[in-house]
Amino acid sequence: MMEDRLKNIKKSRVQERFPGLKFTDELRQRIIKTIQQEQERDEDIMLAILQLLVQKKTGYELLNHLRSRGVKKFEKNEGFLYPFLHSLENKGYIVGEWGENNEKSYFLSSKGRKLLSKVETKPSSFSMDIQEVIKGVMMNEG
């Protein structure tokens, strides 16, 4: 998204508005890389999933909400989300239940709500707590 906006900026327009700005390709690539790294941190993705699953959602709904938050991790491999959710379910952070239309919906368990509450009220514990959960989930996938 941001990369497209950067690509669409015409040099003449930039030079008109900011005559002293030297916007090299190297600088542009560094900016894009930084933006992508910030958007794709596993901790941020995990927090987004926990926040979104405060209310019941199907995997498809969750994917759409993650996309709207700028999460691109599942763009090219949407199927990766489901083993991830299954691992979270096995660890007790979320609950999955099958509906009438053979769709599985997910929502936070009490354990997941406690983790979410903890990382939202104590940001300093965020990285450590979420990293432990992610580590456990990723080990189950391999």
Q: What is the CATH number of the domain that holds 114?
A: 1.10.10.10
| pLDDT of 139 over the 70 cut | no
Same domain for 19 and 49, yes or no, is no
* Domain carrying residue 29: 2-39
pLDDT recorded at residue 58: 95
Q: Is the pLDDT of residue 122 over 50?
A: yes
Indicate the number of domains in the chain: 2
Model confidence at 142: pLDDT above 50: no
- Are 130 and 46 within 8 A, CB to CB? yes
One domain, residues 10 and 50: no
Single pTM value for the model: 0.64
Verify that 33 and 50 share a domain, yes or no.
no
Host H or E run for residue 94: strand 94-98
- Is there a single domain that holds both residue 133 and residue 93? yes
- Above pLDDT 70, what percent of the chain? 66
Q: Is 63 exposed, middle or buried (0-12, 13-18, 19+ CB in 10 A)?
A: middle
